Amino acid sequence: MTSVQVCGTCGAERSLLEPDVECACGGLFDVRLDQPVEDGRSLQRLFAGRKESGAVCDRSGVWRYRELVLPGVEHQVVSHPEGNTPLLQRDGVSRWTGLDHLLLKHEGHNPTGSFKDRGMTVGVTQARRLAATALVCASTGNTSASLAAYGAQAGLPVLVVVPAGKVALGKLGQSLAYGARTVMVRGDFDACLRLVRDASTRLGAYLLNSVNPFRIQGQKTIMFELLEQLGWEAPDWVVVPAGNLGNTAAFGMALVEAHRLGLTDRVPRLAAVQAEGASPFAAGFAEGFTRRLRVAAETVATAIRIGDPASWDRAVRSIRDTDGVVTAVTDAEILEAKAVVDGTGVGCEPASAAAVAGARKLRQLGVIAPAARVVAVLTGHILKDPEILVEYHRGAGASRPLQNPPIEIEPTLAELERVLRIG
Ligand code: F0G
């Protein structure tokens, strides 16, 4: 057997060097690698040993697992490096969720502030292998920030297509600063993705949305690194925010693979969490995934403001393979979860907080037991969306239990003392 791309819908196979990300049948490809020659224990030792090395590939939290990502490309990788993100425990977040053993895997610690860098290092490396001359993506903001940075590093022109007025300030700023040609479309993310899927071939640009299987390969390393940080002891649950469903797809594949390779002795359950106003996948789960659903999406968590998720079929497989669940949380729950995470000094962007809000909801529903070992993945950095932060803490309006408004005073001791007394 050799490594190939396999269509998840019709089973067609083709070489790793075919550039189109879509199968003739309309399905999406997955990368199927040759099984590594090492057994589980040997792989664990191999990965651990690389932490001592100074080589670029070994220092990256993605390429350290290259046997399971994309072997044999060490001489070509475009790496920052990325990954090596912390696994945090915070009493305040545990208390709020009612989960005694909750950990936060903080992907906001990646170079451009989101998990996207894990997939992008692999996707842009693959673009280089294919001798691509331009790169393109649609985005709610983080993919575009990441592609802009990795494209700049690779010396390739980047075109990013985003929904006008619906991209958080930090992300838009990054895309401009890293030098991507940034197109703001009067339409939502789903319209942007349709546009770039239709146009990429005609434009001669390599498509780097998560429909690209090499992106998914990189995102799997969030799970490999998490399992390694836990001493290869699988947790009971992994909770992830879900929009276009690339992560949901990647995590399920990685967890099943880690078990199959003998890296772990069981498969954790996956919980995907959507924002209520953008929750076709949660609705699909509720009706047993009998059909693919689409909605017109609306949520404060602009990263996951997606109504027609591209990785639907792959994500359904992930939920089924991990005995997983899908749920949805309201914008108010997302903002409260975010204020709790922020208030512990950790901080994350709104979409990431959906995972924490979802963990609490699933505990309240009795799906997750209070004593379960749970990992929530924080997908993006607190500074990605500064506007929502300031609005939450400064703004008037409905229930904001953790609001911490700034206080303006004259420069006198008396006023400062008055303010401190109020506190
Ligand atoms: N969290 C953040 C911070 C994101 O940026 C995204 C997706 C998700 C969660 C959802 O992940 O799509 O794999 O289900 N952002 C994409 C983008 C769509 O364009 O940046 P998913």
Distance 84 CA to ligand 1 centre (A): 19
Say if ligand 1 is within 6 A of residue 299 CB: no
Predicted pLDDT at 326 = 99
Say if ligand 1 is within 6 A of residue 246 CB: yes
Say if ligand 1 is within 6 A of residue 119 CB: no
Say if ligand 1 is within 6 A of residue 190 CB: no
Say if ligand 1 is within 6 A of residue 240 CB: no
Report residue 395's pLDDT band, with 50, 70 and 90 as the boundaries: confident
> What whole-number percentage of the chain has pLDDT above 70?
99
Probe residue for ligand 1, chosen from 120, 137, 140 as the CB with the greatest number of ligand atoms within 8 Å: 140
Say if ligand 1 is within 6 A of residue 213 CB: no
The amino acid present at 90, given as its one-letter code, is R
Say if ligand 1 is within 6 A of residue 279 CB: no
Say if ligand 1 is within 6 A of residue 380 CB: yes
Flag whether pLDDT at 277 surpasses 80. yes
Is the omega angle on the peptide bond into residue 406 within 30 degrees of 0, that is, cis?
Answer: no
What CA–CA distance (Å, rounded) separates 106 from 310? 24
Flag whether pLDDT at 1 surpasses 70. no
Predicted pLDDT at 401 = 82
Distance 247 CA to ligand 1 centre (A): 8
Distance 47 CA to ligand 1 centre (A): 27
Name which residue leads in pLDDT, 421 or 106.
106
Distance 302 CA to ligand 1 centre (A): 9
Predicted pLDDT at 60 = 98
Flag whether pLDDT at 422 surpasses 90. no
Residue with the nearest Cα to atom 15 of ligand 1? 303
302-326 mean pLDDT = 98
Residues with Cβ within 8 Å of 266's Cβ and at least 6 positions away in sequence, in order, are 234, 259
How is the chain split among helix, strand and coil, in percent rounded to 5?
A: 45, 15, 40
Q: DSSP states of 226-263 as a string?
A: HHHHTTT---SEEEEE-SSSHHHHHHHHHHHHHHHTTS
| Threshold 0.95, pTM exceeds | yes
Give the CA angle between residues 209, 14, 244 to the nearest 5°.
20
The amino acid present at 219, given as its one-letter code, is Q
What CA–CA distance (Å, rounded) separates 333 from 275? 9
Residue 124 sits at φ, ψ, to 5 deg, of -75, -30
Say if ligand 1 is within 6 A of residue 143 CB: yes
Distance 303 CA to ligand 1 centre (A): 5
Sign of CA dihedral 312, 315, 319, 325: negative
Probe residue for ligand 1, chosen from 114, 194, 219 as the CB with the greatest number of ligand atoms within 8 Å: 114
Report residue 43's pLDDT band, with 50, 70 and 90 as the boundaries: very high
Tokens 């990788």, located at residue? 77
Asked if 124 and 77 touch (Cβ cutoff 8 Å), the reply is no
Atom index in ligand 1 nearest the CA of residue 138 equals 19
Distance 418 CA to ligand 1 centre (A): 44
Give the CA angle between residues 176, 242, 258 to the nearest 5°.
105
For 242, counting Cβ atoms within 10 Å of its Cβ (0-12 exposed, 13-18 middle, 19+ buried), the class is buried
Probe residue for ligand 1, chosen from 28, 105, 107, 116 as the CB with the greatest number of ligand atoms within 8 Å: 116
Q: Is 189 helix (H, G, I), strand (E, B) or coil?
A: helix
271-300 mean pLDDT = 98
Say if ligand 1 is within 6 A of residue 110 CB: no
Run of H or E residues at 138: strand 135-138
CA distances from 329 to 105, 238, 354, 359, 373 (A): 20, 17, 7, 10, 21
Report residue 304's pLDDT band, with 50, 70 and 90 as the boundaries: very high
Predicted pLDDT at 254 = 98
Flag whether pLDDT at 423 surpasses 70. no
Q: Supply the mean pLDDT for the chain.
A: 96
Distance 421 CA to ligand 1 centre (A): 43
Say if ligand 1 is within 6 A of residue 210 CB: yes
Atom index in ligand 1 nearest the CA of residue 241 equals 9
Q: Could you read off the pLDDT of 160-186 as tens digits, one per residue?
A: 999 999 999 999 999 999 999 999 999
Predicted pLDDT at 410 = 97
Q: Could you read off the pLDDT of 97-153 as tens digits, one per residue?
A: 999 999 999 999 999 999 999 999 999 999 999 999 999 999 999 999 999 999 999
Predicted pLDDT at 386 = 95
Say if ligand 1 is within 6 A of residue 241 CB: yes
Distance 243 CA to ligand 1 centre (A): 6
